[in-house]
Amino acid sequence: MSANKENNLVQAYIELNKFCQSGDYDRALKATGKILQIAPNEQKAFHCKVVCFLQLHNFKEALAVLCNPKNAGLSVDLHFEKAYTQYRLNCPKEALQTVDNAPELTTALKELRAQILYRLEQYQDCYNLYRDIVKNTTDEYEDERKANMAAVVANLAALNPNSDLPQFGENTYELAYNAGSTLAMRGKYNDAMPVLKRAEQACSESVLEDGGTEEEAREEAAIIRVQQAFCLQQMGKEKEAAGVYQNVLKDKPSDQALVAIASNNLVVINRDTNVFDSRKRMKAASADGLEHKLNSRQRAAITYNQAILAIYSNQPDFCKQCCVKLVREFSQEQRAALVEAASLAKDGKRQQAVTLLMKHGGILTLAAAQVLLAQGDRKAAIKLLEESEFKYKPAVIGVLCTLLCADNEYEKASRLFTEVYEHYKKDERFTALRTVWRAAAEIHQRAGNTKAAAAAHEALAKAAPEDKKSLARLVKALAAADPQRAKQLAKSLPPVDQLEGKIDIDALESSKWMMGAKVVKKTVQSKQEQSPGTPGSELLQKSKPKRKRKTKIPPNADLSKTPDPERWLPKYERTAYRKRRGVRRDVIKGSQGMSTNATDQYDMSKQLPSAATPAAAAKSPRVEAKSSESAWQRKQQQKKKGKGRKW
């Protein structure tokens, strides 16, 4: 190399170093171009060029440079850079293959491999790799590795809540958040809430200490508040959870995945109400680009909720598309069949819904039975449940018993419980099915099968040896079938005086005991009030004294004078009343149109006192009023006759 060329190369490297230290990667990229133009085989300059592309987030150009056959000799050792560009371009499988092809697995490649495994949702391998890195590495990034490892543990807890996983401290808010998320994934929502509260507070304090604003602190802690809202939602506090989700979305966070999760959970809270708002939220939850920011479990939940919302929105075709997506992308055949059957049942195609559910079988058989019951086909539902694999489950037994009793098929129900008894006879759960044996005894009794009823009572007594009531029922059931054994078992019953010492014989003998204790108490108390001779009745008859209200006096009243005794009478009935001159009118008492004769007839003060009548004739006689014309009727008759002749 000539001296001039070497000087130009040194000068270009000096400029490249200056631009890299100042963070001006655009000019640094131009400097690498000058170096490679002077010396095309400079591997350091080529490496710097790739790093500049990565710093500028121009991953496509970086990958194109690395994969160019002309640069095969220069990129032979850049395994980390190539795998990182593939990872950032959402090609995790190719990135993992690049890492595995590296001759040596350095610490940087190990950490990148762990990130790739996390993206591929291979959480157990990711956890094992992080555990090895944390154990064999000590540097300033130790807290970040522990936070990533805690995130992997939270996802493992979501897949297997009962698994034995390590616990991490709460040194940073990231560790506290992941610890709270792990508790939430295990279903311990009450324990997770205080941990998440501490994480939120630590996050806000950390951002403010670093010079951030309150808005930045609120945006950084948004993901923690969404996790708190999820815990509240799972605890049944949906109104509080909805308020938190809405407050987070009002701040318009930049994280698209966070917006999608909050919107989806709001749709779940809305259910079949406020469908317009749910459709708007679902658009945000299913926007483009989220397939690389959410894991498969979250994306499957959003698709499932999309299908259910399509049923509420009367969109059966779109619902079917979502069901096809559930099967193809997430392999959830049963959930897709259940939603599609619900859509068919809503459209009135119940037979097609039953056929679809029966095609998948399993637990969907119970859903098919529900569709048949909604259709009113009770016999087909009974036949379906009797032939299913869940026939001997306690809940299914209860449904079958109810349906058979509704059709008055007590003998068939009795045979069903006999089969159940034989099925659980040698099972460890025999003693735990107390409600089943109690129902079986009642059904056997109705069917008239005393022997089977006695066997059910015996099973009930065996399930609860300390329950003397079950033993008494067994003695009663055996009294007809096996009297000798009934006598033997009766000896184990406690004496009557030990069972109940305070028995009201009078209340038991009365005819009103079937109506309840309150009615008996009321009748007894009323009888005591009616009989004044009963000792202590004076106490019962005493009631609270009535409060005496003060009489209202007019504001202009003269208290020194005695009030007028006729103040309550109408004016025309008072002694001081005088008619005005020139005015002729009849004072009519009573209803409108009555004459004075009629009023005199019904004025009791003008009637003569009658003799007392005996009790047998105590009914008042019917009074028939004489026909009398009112003043208005006389005037009408005069008008009809016309005016008289003047003399």
Residue 119: the pLDDT is 94
Number of residues written out for the chain: 647
Of 150, 67, 145, 72, the closest CA to residue 112 belongs to 145
CB 457 within 8 A of CB 441: yes
Task: List C-alpha distances in Å: 271 to 1, 277, 314, 346.
Answer: 76, 11, 14, 16
- Distance between first and last Cα of the chain: 163
Q: How far is Cα 448 from Cα 410, in angstroms, rounded to an integer?
A: 9
* CATH level 3 topology of 3-150: 1.25.40
Rg (CA), the chain: 47
Q: What is the pTM of this model?
A: 0.69
Confidence (pLDDT) at 556: 78
**In terms of DSSP H, where are the helices of 101-210?**
107-119, 123-136, 142-159, 173-185, 189-209
Question: Domain spans of the chain?
Answer: 3-150, 167-254, 394-494
Residue pointed to by tokens 């009642």: 442
The third-level CATH classification (topology) of the domain covering 394-494 is 1.25.40
What CA–CA distance (Å, rounded) separates 579 from 405?
87
Burial grade of 542 (CB within 10 A; 0-12, 13-18, 19 or more): exposed
Q: What is the pLDDT of residue 538?
A: 42
Question: Is 475 in contact with 486 (CB distance < 8 Å)?
Answer: yes
What single-letter DSSP state applies at residue 56?
Answer: T
Q: How far apart (Å, rounded) are the C-alpha atoms in residues 555 and 633?
A: 47
Residue 502: its pLDDT value, please? 63
Q: Give CA–CA dist 30/49, Å, rounded.
A: 9
Low-confidence ranges of the chain (pLDDT < 70): 1-2, 463-468, 480-481, 496-505, 508-549, 580-647
- Tokens encoding 399: 């449904």
Domains 3-150 and 394-494 share a fold: yes
The whole-number pLDDT of residue 628 equals 47
What amino acid occupies position 517? Answer: A
b/e per residue 600-638 (b: at least 16 CB within 10 A): ebeeeeeeeeeeeeeeeeeeeeeeeeeeeebeeeeeeee
Distance between CA atoms of residues 247 and 58, nearest Å: 35
